[in-house]
Amino acid sequence: MRTIYLDHAGATPVRNEVFSAMSPYLQDVYGNPSSIHHKGREAYDAVTKARTEIAQALEVSPNEIIFTSGGTEANNLALRGVAQNVRLTKSHILVSAIEHKSVLETAHTLSQQGFEVEYIPVDEYGMVHVEDVVTRVRNDTLLISIMYANNEIGTIEPIAEIAEALHEKFGNARPLFHTDACQAPGQLKVSPHELGVDLMTLNSGKIYGPKGVGMLYVREGVCITPQIVGGEQERHLRAGTENVAGIVGFARALTLATEEQATTAVHLSSLRDTFIYSIRMEGFGAILNGHETERLPGNIHFSFPAIEGEALVLLLDSHGICASTGSACNAHDLLPSHVLRATKRAGEHIHGSLRLTLGRSTTEEELEITLKTLIACVERLRALSPLPLKL
Q: Percentages helix, strand, coil for the chain, rounded to the nearest 5?
A: 45, 15, 40
Considering only residues 56, 85, 111, 227, which one is a binding residue for a second copy as defined by CB under 8 A?
A: 227
Stretch that binds a second copy, among 128-136, 158-166, 285-293, 324-332 (CB under 8 A): 324-332
Catalytic residue among 182, 322, 329, 377: 329
Q: Alpha helix (H) ranges present in the chain?
A: 16-22, 38-58, 71-85, 101-112, 130-134, 159-170, 192-195, 244-282, 309-318, 338-342, 347-351, 364-384
Strands 199-203 and 176-180: parallel
235 contacts a second copy (rule: CB under 8 A): no
What is the dihedral sign for C-alpha 56, 57, 59, 60? Answer: negative
* Interface positions, 284-313, toward a second copy (CB under 8 A): 310, 313
2 contacts a second copy (rule: CB under 8 A): no
56-81: buried (b, 16+ CB within 10 Å) or exposed (e) per residue? ebbebeeebbbbbbbbbbbbbbbbbb
329 contacts a second copy (rule: CB under 8 A): yes
Q: How many CA atoms lie within 13 A of 114 on its CB side?
A: 8
Is 329 assigned a catalytic role?
A: yes
Beta carbon of residue 77, minimum distance to a second copy (angstroms, whole number): 9
DSSP string covering 238-286, please? S-S---HHHHHHHHHHHHHHHHHHHHHHHHHHHHHHHHHHHHHHHTS--
253 contacts a second copy (rule: CB under 8 A): no
Exposed/middle/buried for 281, CB within 10 Å: 0-12, 13-18, 19+?
exposed
Query: In this complex, which beta carbon is closest to a second copy, that of residue 117 or of residue 244?
Result: 244
Beta carbon of residue 161, minimum distance to a second copy (angstroms, whole number): 27
13 contacts a second copy (rule: CB under 8 A): yes
Query: In this complex, which beta carbon is closest to a second copy, that of residue 203 or of residue 255?
Result: 203
Considering only residues 73, 152, 198, 308, which one is a binding residue for a second copy as defined by CB under 8 A?
A: 73
Considering only residues 154, 175, 185, 246, which one is a binding residue for a second copy as defined by CB under 8 A?
A: 246
314 contacts a second copy (rule: CB under 8 A): yes
Strands 199-203 and 214-218: antiparallel
Query: In this complex, which beta carbon is closest to a second copy, that of residue 62 or of residue 231?
Result: 231
Beta carbon of residue 220, minimum distance to a second copy (angstroms, whole number): 22
Considering only residues 55, 160, 222, 322, which one is a binding residue for a second copy as defined by CB under 8 A?
A: 322
Considering only residues 53, 152, 198, 242, which one is a binding residue for a second copy as defined by CB under 8 A?
A: 242
230 contacts a second copy (rule: CB under 8 A): yes
For 182, the 3-state DSSP assignment is coil
Query: In this complex, which beta carbon is closest to a second copy, that of residue 32 or of residue 52?
Result: 32
Stretch 107-136: interaction string toward a second copy, x if CB under 8 A: -xx---------------------------
Stretch 42-71: interaction string toward a second copy, x if CB under 8 A: -x------------------------xxxx
- CB of 300 closer than 8 Å to CB of 358: yes
Termini Cα distance of the chain: 34
316 contacts a second copy (rule: CB under 8 A): yes
201 contacts a second copy (rule: CB under 8 A): no
> Of all helices (H) and strands (E), which one includes residue 117?
strand 116-120
- How far is it, in rounded angstroms, from Cα 94 to Cα 177? 10
Considering only residues 53, 65, 75, 127, which one is a binding residue for a second copy as defined by CB under 8 A?
A: 75
143 contacts a second copy (rule: CB under 8 A): no
Q: Strand order of the sheet with strand 287-288?
A: 287-288, 299-303, 353-357
Which residues belong to the active site? Answer: 329
